[in-house]
């Protein structure tokens, strides 16, 4: 499979993957406990950790490998106020993202984890 086919694959799948997460989050009884027990990691990724990454972000990593997925929470400089959040779905040498809107369970999850940084 060439890189163009892989790009189309993640771009085609990212919204469906995000929708699956939202469905799960909306069905669980205790959202925070569920995510706290299923997420792989939470941490800050410094700017320029990866090639072409000019801004740091908080990462809630949901899975790892090929494929992997995560939320990236970008904050307003020198604060913990959310600027925007993206859901990323990645496979080998490919990746795609969708914005996470405020009125979603995923936004609430990211906000809860970010509150823990205070």
Q: Where are the domains of the chain?
A: 3-115
Where helices occur in 28-104 by DSSP H, the ranges are 31-38
Q: What is the mean pLDDT of each run of 10 residues along the chain (118 residues)?
A: 56 94 96 92 94 94 92 92 97 92 96 87
pLDDT for 3 equals 52
Question: 40 near 25, Cβ under 8 Å?
Answer: no
pLDDT for 27 equals 96
């Amino acid at each position: 499979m060439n890189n163009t086919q892989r790009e189309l694959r993640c771009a085609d799948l990212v919204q469906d993957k995000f929708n699956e997460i939202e469905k799960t989050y909306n069905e669980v009884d205790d959202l925070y406990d569920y995510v706290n027990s299923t997420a792989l990691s939470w941490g800050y990724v410094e700017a320029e950790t990866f090639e072409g990454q000019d801004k740091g972000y908080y990462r809630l990593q949901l899975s790892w490998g090929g494929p992997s997925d995560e939320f990236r929470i970008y904050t307003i400089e020198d604060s913990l106020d959310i600027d925007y959040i993206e859901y990323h779905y990645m496979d080998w040498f490919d990746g795609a993202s969708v914005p996470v809107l405020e009125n979603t369970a995923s936004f609430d999850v990211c906000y809860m984890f970010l509150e823990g940084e205070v």
